[in-house]
Chains A and B, each alone.
Chain A
Amino acid sequence: MKREILEILQENDRVTAAEIAVMLGLPEEEVRAEIAALEQNNTIVKYRAMINWEKTEIDRITAMIDVRVTPQREVGFDEIARRIYRFPEVRSVYLMSGAYDLSVLVEARNIKELALFVAEKLAAMDHINGTVTHFVLKRYKQEGVILDELNDAERLVVSP
């Protein structure tokens, strides 16, 4: 039940508990309780809209920054990751395997703002050995949703 509820909500958080209960053939109370528990323990972290900013006239620029870090005794990468993620410009931070350590997704209003953040805040931090900044040029798909607007093939209206 848990997996199904989470899948439904991840796809569309506006589906109500009552509707989920019908979909899964479960008592509404049970579904309600399960969702409450999932919210309580932070499995369901947040409900929010997914926005394609490129459709607006509002300026926004996104960069993925590879960060090489010297891990610190006892805390490893956590300490530095925390220092990075507290900046509101930072949308996500992941610890990675491979050629660099942290992958940081940063959003800003323009290139200047972003460059400033990297140069003054990120690269200047202690224990950071180097950064490589990749600007996002076009979003094709994000979090499982295709943003690329292709015309769907048309279906018949009525067929046997």
Chain B
Amino acid sequence: MTIQINQRVQAVPPSGIRRFFDLASEMKGVVSLGIGEPDFTTPWHIREACYYALEKGYTMYTSNSGLLELREEIARDIERAYGLSYDPHTQALVTTGVSEAVDLALRVILEPGDEVLIPEPCYVAYGPCAFLAGGQPVYVPTAVENGFRVSPHDLEAKTTPRTKALILSYPNNPTGAVMDRESLAAVAEIAACHDLMVISDEVYAHLTYSGEHTCFAGLPGMQERTILLNGFSKAYAMTGWRLGYALGPREIIAAMTKVHQYTMLCAPITAQKAAIEALRNGERERGRMVAEYDRRRRIFVKGLNEIGLGCFEPQGAFYCFPSVAATGMDGLMFAEELLKEEKVAVVPGEAFGASGKWHVRCSYASSLANLKEALQRMERFVARHEAQPHP
């Protein structure tokens, strides 16, 4: 038979990381700054809790929304952190990673052709998910001059009568940018004025290094129009467990639960059991990891600036997003040449959006020894290429 792939699926470009991944994974002796996950293993008490659950026989389905015990812990956690109250029975859904929650949120709010504002550079899934849900992603560029924060003025300029939603993701992957309360308040004003739904992916919230993370749903009047997404991957080093959650207005959570019930049924019970342990007893280990990221961050940012790769100081997540323009190369070329010549893997900024063209993403979720080795290799590379500028 002739196999016909759906046109919308065909129209989605493959992830920009893919090609690069293939190249890097074939090489030996690579120092990788390319991973978008903690280099820590999930803290032992969390893994141990999962063993215990397996021993006791927790191998079955859970309710579609997830274990009530977990939803209650999530609601308590958010209440404690931001003073926001969500009903665990009707306003919480446990998902298979934040990734699933992004997909569900977009599917339940978008009509064909609805526009979704997406500040970029950003995590690679937002645009494709919006598009696959029938919507139209509208990217809003951000720039280093403004600390990669989205400007209310730019948002306003891209808003049309078809604009339905806005996706925020601060602290940001790949830039490490955060938005303070004041900047977010200006965004909130626009959301209210144009009656936008806001999907706020705050998976890096705990990885904020200066001041407190501001939860978008906590701004006056925003809880009713915000779908708050978070998960366990980054704060508790649990990427492979695939566990996230959505909190939001009853109608939205009910609709997301409906789609989830027919597509995912429920998130894995083993991960849910582990997540309960993470929320109850994970603060100490989480704090230890965050302190460690912060130290590496300072060392690495200083190192990048010293070798001539201008880098704005990231205040969150575990990424640096230096400009490589000084070498005469764009991010893509820089990343490929650096990998070939010095075997350091970084990710071209363009994979995260057009305004990342002259940047690369470096993850400092890597040991101090690795970071120092990478800096040495990059220093050699930059020195060589500054001397012979590309045409």
User: Which candidate, A16-24, A60-68, A70-78, is the interface stretch facing chain B?
Assistant: A16-24
CB distance from A27 to the nearest CB of B (A): 13
Chain B 1-45 per-residue mask, 1 if CB under 8 angstroms from chain A, else 0: 000000000000001010011001100001010111101010000
In the complex, what's the smallest C-beta–C-beta distance from B359 to chain A, in angstroms?
16
Q: Of residues 41 to 98 in B, which have CB atoms within 8 Å of A's CB atoms?
A: 41
Known: A19-B299, A22-B299. A160 touches B123 (CB 8 A): yes
- Tell whether, in the assembled complex, residue B295 and residue A158 are in contact, meaning their CB atoms are under 8 Å apart: no
* Residues of chain A contacted by B35 (CB below 8 angstroms): 155-159
How many residues does chain A have at the interface if contact means C-beta atoms less than 8 Å apart? 16
- Provide the A37-50 mask, 1 if CB < 8 A to any CB of B, else 0: 00000000000000
Residue of B nearest to A4 (CB): B291
Residue A119, interface by CB 8 Å: no
Check if B299 sits within 8 Å of A158, measured CB to CB.
no
Write out the residue numbers on chain A whose beta carbons fall within 8 Å of the beta carbon of B34: 157-159
A25 at the interface (CB under 8 A from B): yes
- B123-139: contact bitstring with A at CB < 8 Å (1 yes, 0 no)? 11100000000000000
CB distance from A107 to the nearest CB of B (A): 29
Judged by a CB distance under 8 angstroms, whether B347 is at the interface is: yes
User: A157 and B32: CB pair below 8 A?
Assistant: yes
Bound complex: CA A54 to CA B30 (Å): 30
Chain B interfacial residues counted at CB < 8 A: 29
Tell me the residues in window 193-229 of chain B with beta carbons closer than 8 Å to chain A beta carbons.
none
* Residue from A4, A24, A25, A160 within 8 A of B124 (CB atoms): A160
Of the candidates B20, B21, B35, B295, the one having the most CB atoms from chain A within 10 angstroms of its own CB is B295
With a cutoff of 8 Å between Cβ atoms, the chain A residues found around residue B347 in the complex are 158
Q: Are A24 and B295 CB-contacts (below 8 A) given A156-B21, A160-B124?
A: yes
B298 part of interface (Cβ distance < 8 Å): yes
Cα distance A23–B295 in the bound complex, in angstroms: 4
CB-nearest residue of chain B relative to A8?
Answer: B295
Query: Does B302 interact with chain A (Cβ within 8 Å)?
Result: yes
User: Can you list 25 residue pairs at the A/B interface with Cβ under 8 Å?
Assistant: A12-B368, A15-B368, A19-B299, A22-B298, A23-B296, A23-B298, A23-B299, A155-B35, A156-B35, A157-B24, A157-B25, A157-B30, A157-B32, A157-B34, A157-B345, A158-B17, A158-B20, A158-B24, A158-B34, A158-B35, A159-B17, A159-B34, A160-B15, A160-B17, A160-B351
Known: A24-B295, A156-B35. 8 other contacts (CB 8 A): A22-B299, A155-B37, A157-B24, A157-B32, A158-B25, A160-B123, A160-B124, A160-B351
Q: Which 9 A-B pairs have the closest CB atoms?
A: A158-B34, A23-B295, A158-B21, A157-B24, A157-B32, A159-B36, A160-B124, A157-B25, A22-B298
